[in-house]
Amino acid sequence: MSSLRPFCLTLRLVAPAAAVLLLLTPASHAQTQAAQAQTNAAQATPAPAQSSDPVPASPSQTTVAARSPEQRGVTSRAIDKVKEVAKSAADIFSRVPCLPPKGGTKAMGSLPHVAGKLVAGKPVVIVAFGSSSTAGFGATSPEFNYPNRLAAQLRRQYPTADITVVNAGVGGEDAPEMMKRLQREVIDVHPDLVIWQVGTNAVLRNLDPGETAKLVEEGIGRIQAAGDADIVLVDPQYSPAVNQRAESAGRMVKLLGKVAELRHVGIFPRFEVMREWHEKQAIPVEGFVIADGLHMNDWGYACFAQLLGDDIIRSVGQIKLGVNVPADVRTYRPM
């Protein structure tokens, strides 16, 4: 496993807890049901074709608000919201469950810094850095993008924790553009965990995977030099548009894995995870990818967030048990 460091992104960490919670979760049970109906429709009927390179959007942020003893009223309302979000998460898996892959062993670095902060009850800041699949293109609602789903899962697991998840995804970008905003949108935020999704648009744009890997390694070095944070790389998605460039995609996946190993950071093998959905769990591609053949749908984002959140929670559990893997040692586990 590995220690990981942060990326840059401007965010407002101070916001009224109640207002933030309304941004995070459905406003009512009726809205939750409506959003789920929309989700089911999107999965049952192919969505209109959408651009593989959507217009860049401004980064948004999701804040899991702090709950102090002086804010018991807010805490009570927060718990109600957590229950609503939990129901929406359960609903989306009611027809097709989200199962952990069983095909071989995958590398996922340990997260000693963020886990230690959660165990100690200290505030935690997570930056989700990436392109359109981080921004949530293809989701039927902002609450169904993966950073929001991840925030909701961590909040259910640690209801008294002060956790902030910042969505720093900008559609159409890859490593060259991301490096330009690395300082401002990641490093300057002083995150405890950076989840860097990268490589898909480089494949689609026929960029050299080797050059992308060099930029990512440089970016990781900058994050690690700037502070004490964990880093997890997320490689390209398995989808028809990416698979049309199979050779380039394969090189990208391998090179990002090597960068993670060399820099002692974690990697979430999204490509292999999604391929297993299709090849071993017999889920049709349209069950997790929208009609553009590239971006995930609500189920895809939800399962991706669930598996990523499970890894974070597992790492925290290891810290609690005193299993603290040194930063320079990568460990492997069956997914």
What is the residue-averaged pLDDT of the chain? Answer: 78
* Strand pairing report for 163-169 and 124-130: parallel
- The torsion angles phi and psi of 64, rounded to 5 degrees, stand at -90, 110
Question: What distance in Å separates the CA atoms of residue 129 and residue 310, rounded to the nearest whole number?
Answer: 19
Question: Is residue 179 scored above 70 in pLDDT?
Answer: yes
Closest by Cα among 268, 286, 110, 264 to 198: 268
In the prediction, which pLDDT does 158 show?
93
Q: Are 78 and 197 in contact (CB under 8 A)?
A: no
Cβ atoms of residues 283 and 96 within 8 Å: yes
Q: How confident is the model at residue 84 (pLDDT cuts 50, 70, 90)?
A: low
**78 CB contacts (<8 Å, ≥6 apart)?**
17, 21, 65, 67, 155, 159
Q: What is the C-alpha to C-alpha distance for residues 53 and 172, in angstroms, rounded to an integer?
A: 5
Higher pLDDT, 325 or 146: 146
Which domains are delineated in the chain? 17-47+60-325 (3.40.50.1110)
Average pLDDT estimate for 200-229: 97
- Cα→Cα distances 85→61, 127, 135, 148, Å: 17, 21, 19, 10
Extended strands (E) in the chain:
60-64, 105-107, 124-130, 163-169, 193-197, 230-234, 266-268, 332-334
Predicted pLDDT at 35: 44
Grouping H, G, I as helix, E, B as strand and the rest as coil, residue 268 is: strand
Instruction: Check whether 268 has a pLDDT greater than 60.
Output: yes
Average pLDDT over residues 126-151: 97
As a whole number of angstroms, the distance between CA 131 and CA 51 comes to 13
Whether 301 shows a pLDDT value over 70: the answer reads yes
Kindly state the percentage of the chain with pLDDT values over 70.
67
pLDDT tens by residue, 187-202? 999 999 999 999 999 9
**Mean pLDDT calculated for residue range 156-167:** 95
Question: For the CA atoms of the chain, what is the radius of gyration?
Answer: 18
Residue with the larger pLDDT of the pair 319 and 227: 227
Q: What is the pLDDT of residue 11?
A: 35
> For residue 127, what is the DSSP state?
E
DSSP string, 221-248: HHHHHHS--EEEEE-----HHHHTTHHH
Give 316's pLDDT tier (boundaries 50, 70, 90).
confident
